[in-house]
Amino acid sequence: MSRDRKPHIGIFGRRNNGKSSIINKLANQDIAIVSDIAGTTTDPVKKSFEISGFGPVVLIDTAGIDDIGELGELRIKKTTQSIQLIDLAILVVSNNEWDKHETDLIETFQKQEVPYIILHNKSDINKASEDWLQIARQQNAVEVMNFSVIDSDINPLVRKIQLAIPESAYKMPTLVGDLISYGDIVLLITPIDIEAPEGRLILPQIQAIRDILDNDAVCIVLKEREVDSFLKKTGIKPVLAITDSQIFLKADASVPKDIPLTGFSILLAHFKGDFESYLKGTPKIDELKNSDRILLLESCSHHVACDDIGRVKIPRWISAYTGKKLHFDVVAGLDNIKRPITDYSLVIQCGGCMITRKQLHNRLNLAKDAQIPITNYGMTIAYVQGIYERAVAPFLTNNKTIKPDYL
């Protein structure tokens, strides 16, 4: 994985119980104002620093949740809002306090599905009592700890933070990161003249460019007509070429066979789709019979280019390839599928560039549960154009699929 993002940690609790002091201790420097006057921190403040032994974080210091007066209420609201931003909460308590202030916060953490650590601070003055510990341990916190800014070693807390923050908080999955390494040259082939939106590139192309740069690799973007002469003229040999699926054949002819070639929508199929199932499902195109029904799931109803691929091109190509009389139904967006899923012999899913992985999988489960073969737009196009093996090869090593890095 790459493109690290900084995990966000929020620190909550009543006034004066040592929230800002804990931040300073985690940062190993004075970055937050500490004083014995209750209400020192007034607004949520983001501090960006490195926790030794863990890495860069953004820590959000908040105003005491027991703040008083009208202004206090506003501050509490802001404090509660900041819970939406965080990957982990630390609830600081001192003097064995426990009432609605604490339980309200915990309820909000739970609602926002934020994991939380409960820290009993100032234990040098007043240690957590057995009664308090018993209550705190019933709160589904990832950890309950006795702590003192003055006496405690910070490392056990750092280790708990490390364990409690989900990996997804600081690691973003990458589209091509598992296929390339530092300094590699990747060639992107994008037809500009056909259906590209005016003045822009389509989303998967932009994502691929960003991802290649994030992986410290080199990205060359060419129109299909320039590929041949560019490769000959420069002698550059990319480690991977990615083409728009609509010009697969042309790209296949232009890109020398020793350079792996795949399509943007296959890249998406691998990244976001159910690649293993697509691998099993695609060759079932050969088993289609006259009057079989095929369902095309087009998840992004507003995407004009895909519209044409799903409604016109894929039906035409599959019919020509199989020589069979087939029925095609297209279901757009998250619309209901009108016929029972068992009416279909094959389901073809679009790349799903506009929807989440979860939405896409939920959509496919219906077909999978009914054991109907599934494939995707790019893999189908590659298959009927006879370049399927070449197009999926970059995702296979020793006949095993390279898993996307977040699985």
Ligand X SMILES: Nc1nc2c(ncn2[C@@H]2O[C@H](COP(=O)(O)OP(=O)(O)OP(=O)(O)O)[C@@H](O)[C@H]2O)c(=O)[nH]1
20 vs 174 by CB, closer to Mg ion: 20
The piece of 36-44, 155-163, 258-266, 288-296 that touches Mg ion (CB under 5 A) is 36-44
89 vs 219 by CB, closer to ligand X: 89
CB-based contact 115:143 (threshold 8 Å): no
62 part of the interface to Mg ion, by CB under 5 A: no
CB-based contact 87:9 (threshold 8 Å): yes
42 part of the interface to Mg ion, by CB under 5 A: no
- The residues of the shown chain that bind ligand X, judged by CB under 6 A, are 15-21, 34-36, 38-41, 63-64, 121-122, 124-125, 148-150
Sign of CA dihedral 80, 357, 168, 164: positive
Answer for which of 13, 18, 20, 315 binds Mg ion (CB under 5 A) is: 20
121 part of the interface to Mg ion, by CB under 5 A: no
Closest residue to ligand X in the complex (CB)? 18
Q: Which does 236 bind (CB under 5 to 8 A by kind): Mg ion, ligand X, none?
A: none
Q: Which does 190 bind (CB under 5 to 8 A by kind): ligand X, Mg ion, none?
A: none
Sign of CA dihedral 190, 193, 199, 200: negative
Contacts of 245 (CB under 8 A, 6+ apart): 263, 264, 265, 266, 309, 377, 378, 381, 382
| Least distance (Å) between residue 92 CB and ligand X | 6
108 part of the interface to Mg ion, by CB under 5 A: no
- Please, is 153 exposed, middle or buried when counting C-beta atoms within 10 Å of its C-beta (0-12, 13-18, 19+)? exposed
| Least distance (Å) between residue 400 CB and ligand X | 52
| Least distance (Å) between residue 122 CB and ligand X | 4
Closest C-alpha among 214, 330, 349, 339 to residue 272: 349
| Least distance (Å) between residue 19 CB and Mg ion | 5
Q: Which does 402 bind (CB under 5 to 8 A by kind): Mg ion, ligand X, none?
A: none
Q: Amino acid identity, residue 223?
A: K
| Least distance (Å) between residue 127 CB and ligand X | 11
Closest C-alpha among 33, 5, 13 to residue 21: 33
Q: Which does 155 bind (CB under 5 to 8 A by kind): Mg ion, ligand X, none?
A: none
Characterise 67 by phi-psi region: left (phi > 0), alpha (psi -120 to 50), beta (else).
beta
82 vs 375 by CB, closer to Mg ion: 82
The piece of 18-26, 98-106, 130-138, 256-264 that touches Mg ion (CB under 5 A) is 18-26
The C-alpha atoms of residue 251 and residue 392 are separated, in whole angstroms, by 15
122 vs 303 by CB, closer to ligand X: 122
In this structure, which long-range contacts are made by residues 126-133, counting pairs with CB atoms below 8 Å and at least 24 apart in sequence? 126/94, 126/95, 126/96, 128/96, 129/96, 131/96, 132/93, 132/96, 132/98
Answer for which of 40, 95, 139, 385 binds Mg ion (CB under 5 A) is: 40
| Least distance (Å) between residue 136 CB and ligand X | 17
CB-based contact 377:351 (threshold 8 Å): yes
Position of tokens 């057995």? 130
Measure Cα distances from 178 to 63, 105, 370 in Å. 43, 40, 32
149 vs 294 by CB, closer to ligand X: 149
40 vs 301 by CB, closer to ligand X: 40
26 vs 348 by CB, closer to ligand X: 26
Q: Which residues bind Mg ion (CB under 5 A)?
A: 19-20, 40-41
